[in-house]
Amino acid sequence: MFNKPANTSEWQALDKAHHIHPFTDPKYFDSRGVRVMTTADGCYIWDSDGNKILDAMAGLWCVNIGYGNKDVVQAAARQLETLPYYNTFFQSSTPTQIELAARLTELTPGDLNHFFFANSGSEANDTVIRLARHYWTVRGKPKKTTFIGRHKGYHGSTLAAVSLGGMKDMHALGHTLLPGFAHIMEPHCYAHGNGLEPEAFGLQAAQKLEEKILELGPETVAAFIGEPIQGAGGVIDPPATYWGEIQRICEKYDVLLVADEVICGFGRLGHWFGSEYYGIRPDIVSMAKGLSSGYLPISAVAVSDEVFAAIQEGGPLAHGYTYSGHPVACAVAIANIDVIERQSLVDRVRENTAPYFRQCLGELADQHPMVGELRGAGLIAALQLVRDKSARENFTAEDNAANICRDICLDNNLIMRAVEQSMVICPPLIITRTEIDELVEKAWTGLNDTAARFGLL
Ligand code: PXG
C-alpha cells in the first residue's frame, strides 16, 4: 500500500530516492529539491506549496494553447471511450489518424502532403534519418547517407537524434555520436560574428554548409537539418540572409533540406510553421510539442510529394512504432489545432502579442545593464546576460549567472529557462498583453536581484 506524501518535502524525498531526472544537477536535490507541480490553468501552474507561477516556458516549449483547455480534455475522453487504441501497421488506420494527416496537409507549406506519426520529437527525427536514407537508396544513390546538422542544434535524446544534434555534452554521455553525422557552425551572430553585419555573417554561416558538403563529398550527403530558430541551443535566430543561402546550397548539391519544427511549428513565430517565417521550402519537416500542445505525446514527419513517391516505390516501409498515430493522441492533436484555429492564435501572435512582447523585451534589453542582446522572433526570446554591457564582457561558466537568475525568478513565481549565459522565454501562445506585462516586470526584478548578487547594481 502506497502512503501518499503529505507535503512537499516528503514528495521530494521520495523523488530523490527513486526518480532519475534528465538534465538535472544531482547537487540540486540537496540544495533546493525538485519543484513538484500539481495543477495548471492558462499560463499558470501551481506547485505543491500552493505557489501560483507564471510559466514563461510553456512547459518545455510545448503548451502552446495553455493549460486546462476543456475541449482538448473532452476530445481525449471521447476517443478513449470510442477506441482507446489501434495501430497503423499492416493495412490499418483509424478515423483520427486519417483526419489528422489530412488536416496537417492543409496547414503545412508547399507540397508537404504526407505524414508519418511517432510519439516524440526524437522519434520523429530518427524517422527522418531512416526515410531520407531510404529515399536516396530508392533513387539509386545509396551512398548519400550523411546528415549535416549544427553545433548547439537540438534534435532529441535517442541515439540517432543525439547524433543529429550538436550538443557536445550529450555526445559525451555514453559515447553517443554515431558515424554518418557532421556539424557546422551555428548562425549565432553575437557569438561568432566578429563585428560583421548580420547579413554578411548570415551568408558566411550558411557557406559553412557548402564547405562541409565539399569536404565530405556531395555524393555522400543525404540531408541538412536545422531548426528554423535553434531553441535549446539558446534561441539562436539566424540573420535574414541565412536560410535562403542554405536552400540554394542544398539544391545545388542535391541534398535534402529538413526543417525541425518541433519548437517553431504551430504558431510560435506567428506562422503555422517557422519555415514560412523564413521562406524555407523543406523536403521533410519534423514536428511534435505544439502539435498537441503537450497534452499527450505525439509527433509527425511531413514529406514532400517527391520523397513520398520514392517511399511508395520502395515497397513496404520497415519502420514504425506501436503507438504511431495513437488514436487518443491524434484526437488531442486535432482538438488542439481546432483551438488554435478558433482562437486565431497564429494571427494573434503575429499581429498583436508578439510585437508587444518584443517591444517590452526590447526596452528591457536596451535599458538593463546586465542584458547584452535580445534574440528570437515571435513568442520565443533569449536575453543574453553580460557582466559589462558596453565592453561586451560575458559572464563565465563558473559565474553561473543564468542559473542563479532562473532560481531567483522561480522564487518570484516566474519560470524562465537558463541556457548557458542566456535567459530563455517561450510562453504559451494564449498569453495576453497583461500577462506579458507581468512576465516582463518579473523578469526585470529577477535580473535586478541577480545583478545585485554580482555587485553590478
Ligand atoms: N527537436 C527540437 C527542436 C526540440 O526542441 C526535440 C527535437 C526532441 O523532442 P522530444 O519530444 O523527443 O524531447 C526537441 C526537444 C531544453 C529541452 O533543453 C528541449 C527539448 C527537450 C528537452 C529539453 O530546453 N526539446
Q: pLDDT, tens digit, for every residue of 205-233?
A: 999 999 999 999 999 999 999 999 999 99
Q: How confident is the model at residue 292 (pLDDT cuts 50, 70, 90)?
A: very high
DSSP string across 138-172: HTT-TT--EEEEETT----SSHHHHHHS--HHHHH
DSSP string across 228-276: SSBSTTT-BPPPTTHHHHHHHHHHHTT-EEEEE-TTTTTTTTSSSSHHH
Residue 437: per-residue pLDDT: 98
- pLDDT at 30 > cutoff 90: no
Q: Phi and psi for 185 in degrees, rounded to 5?
A: -60, 140
For 12-37, what is the mean pLDDT?
Answer: 90
CA-based torsion, 172, 173, 175, 177: positive or negative? negative
Q: Are 125 and 286 in contact (CB under 8 A)?
A: yes
Could you report the per-residue pLDDT of 133-150, keeping only the tens digit for each? Answer: 999 999 999 999 999 999
> CA angle at residue 224 from 220 to 229, to 5 degrees?
165
Q: Are 287 and 267 in contact (CB under 8 A)?
A: no
Q: Are 231 and 426 in contact (CB under 8 A)?
A: yes
Whether 158 lines ligand 1, by a CB cut-off of 6 Å, is no
CA of 368 to the centre of ligand 1 (A): 30
The minimum-distance atom of ligand 1 relative to the CA of 119 is 11
Amino acid at 57: M
Q: How confident is the model at residue 433 (pLDDT cuts 50, 70, 90)?
A: very high
* C-alpha to C-alpha distances, 2 to 5, 6, 10, 36, 324, nearest whole angstrom: 9, 12, 13, 18, 33
- pLDDT at 54 > cutoff 90: yes
Whether 292 lines ligand 1, by a CB cut-off of 6 Å, is no
Q: How confident is the model at residue 29 (pLDDT cuts 50, 70, 90)?
A: confident
- Range(s) of the chain covered by CATH 3.90.1150.10: 35-65+344-453
* C-alpha to C-alpha distances, 145 to 58, 135, 215, nearest whole angstrom: 35, 10, 15
- pLDDT at 57 > cutoff 90: yes
Give the Cα separation of 85 and 218 in Å (integer): 43
Nine cell digits for residue 51: 505557489
Could you report the per-residue pLDDT of 299-348, keeping only the tens digit for each? Answer: 999 999 999 999 999 999 999 999 999 999 999 999 999 999 999 999 99
Residue 236: per-residue pLDDT: 98
CA of 122 to the centre of ligand 1 (A): 8
Q: How confident is the model at residue 25 (pLDDT cuts 50, 70, 90)?
A: confident
For 348-361, what is the mean pLDDT?
Answer: 98
Whether 262 lines ligand 1, by a CB cut-off of 6 Å, is yes
For residue 283, give the nearest of 315, 253, 306 by alpha carbon: 306
- pLDDT at 457 > cutoff 90: no
Residue 26: per-residue pLDDT: 86
Whether 276 lines ligand 1, by a CB cut-off of 6 Å, is no
- pLDDT at 123 > cutoff 90: yes
Q: How confident is the model at residue 284 (pLDDT cuts 50, 70, 90)?
A: very high
Give me the CATH topology for the region 71-342.
Aspartate Aminotransferase; domain 2 (3.40.640)
Q: How confident is the model at residue 115 (pLDDT cuts 50, 70, 90)?
A: very high
Element (H, E) at 19: none
Of 25, 129, 262, the residue with max ligand 1 atoms within 8 A of its CB, to mutate for a pocket test, comes to 262
CA-based torsion, 116, 122, 125, 130: positive or negative? negative
Which residue lies with its CA nearest to atom 10 of ligand 1? 121
Residue 174: per-residue pLDDT: 86
Amino acid at 305: D
- Range(s) of the chain covered by CATH 3.40.640.10: 71-342
Could you report the per-residue pLDDT of 363-422, keeping only the tens digit for each? Answer: 999 999 999 999 999 999 999 999 999 988 999 999 999 999 999 999 999 999 999 999
Nine cell digits for residue 298: 505525439
Could you report the per-residue pLDDT of 72-86, keeping only the tens digit for each? Answer: 999 999 999 999 999
In the CATH scheme, what is the code of domain 35-65+344-453? 3.90.1150.10
Q: Which residue has the higher pLDDT, 31 or 271?
A: 271
* C-alpha to C-alpha distances, 444 to 113, 368, 372, 396, nearest whole angstrom: 44, 8, 14, 21
